A and B are shown apart, each in its own frame.
Chain A
Amino acid sequence: AQKITQTQPGMFVQEKEAVTLDCTYDTSDQSYGLFWYKQPSSGEMIFLIYQGSYDEQNATEGRYSLNFQKARKSANLVISASQLGDSAMYFCAMRDNFNKFYFGSGTKLNVKP
């Protein structure tokens, strides 16, 4: 069964520092996709970054990078130079071979000034 695990319910980071949000996944599919979304208090889910299971390079999008370790089945999100506006819930998600999506329980990130 597909499963996404985010073990950090809450995280604090100092403004301008980098932070890593953990995500591990469990699947026997060979082809899958990994996503990170940000959900501010307004409720809208904002797409941040995508990594395909066959992509050899780690995905990067501005201050976001995805540390993809396929053998360990981990897809950690790294946010560099944290900003106050980064305070939000962050969800890791996986798309399986059947295009079904599975979400982790989320990590609440608080950026301190």
Chain B
Amino acid sequence: KAGVTQTPRYLIKTRGQQVTLSCSPISGHRSVSWYQQTPGQGLQFLFEYFSETQRNKGNFPGRFSGRQFSNSRSEMNVSTLELGDSALYLCASSLITGGGYTFGSGTRLTVV
């Protein structure tokens, strides 16, 4: 079966712009989590959605938001981009919240 699909794979944006990243979970998985990975901070949890509801949220500013659709696909939006937002953004899905997650290959965002 298909794995977790993240689009796009690479993205270059300018400071001040906004960006939307997409994640399609494994079929049947209802939980989707987002992580930011940077060399300095490592992997940091952004938020988790389950059945279209945000269940958990990490310590990120309000510029970072997300949503989940009825088909479990999820989007993450970052507004007013800053240079420090350059990172690999990973999406992970699971059958249940807190389960063993399967990760996608990530979207590498570069802010210039």
Contact = CB atoms under 8 A, between A and B. Distances in A.
Q: Say whether A associates with B.
A: yes
Interface of A: 33, 35, 37, 42-47, 50, 91, 93, 95, 98-106
Interface in B85-105: 88, 90, 92, 97-98, 100-105
B45 interface: yes
7 contacts: A33-B98, A43-B108, A44-B106, A47-B103, A100-B45, A103-B42, A104-B42
Nearest to B108: A43
A46 B103 contact: yes
A45 B98 contact: no
Interface of B: 33, 35, 42-45, 48, 55-56, 58, 88, 90, 92, 97-98, 100-106, 108
For B35, B97, B100, the residue with the greatest tally of chain A CB atoms inside 10 Å of its CB is: B100
Nearest to B4: A44
- Chain B contact residues: over half helix, strand or loop, or mixed? strand
Given A43-B105, A104-B42, A98 B56 contact: yes
Contact of A103 (B43, B98, B100, B102): B43
Contacts of A100: 45, 48, 56, 58
Q: Which residue among A35, A42, A43 has the maximum number of chain B CB atoms within 10 Å of its CB?
A: A43
A101 B88 CA distance: 17
B1 to A, nearest CB: 15
A44 B48 contact: no
Question: What 6 A-B pairs are tightest by C-beta distance, nearest first?
Answer: A99-B98, A45-B103, A103-B43, A44-B105, A43-B106, A105-B42
Nearest to A97: B98
B56 A44 contact: no
A35 B98 CA distance: 11
Contacts of B56: 98-100
A106 B42 contact: yes
A35 B42 contact: no
Given A43-B88, A106-B42, A99 B55 contact: yes
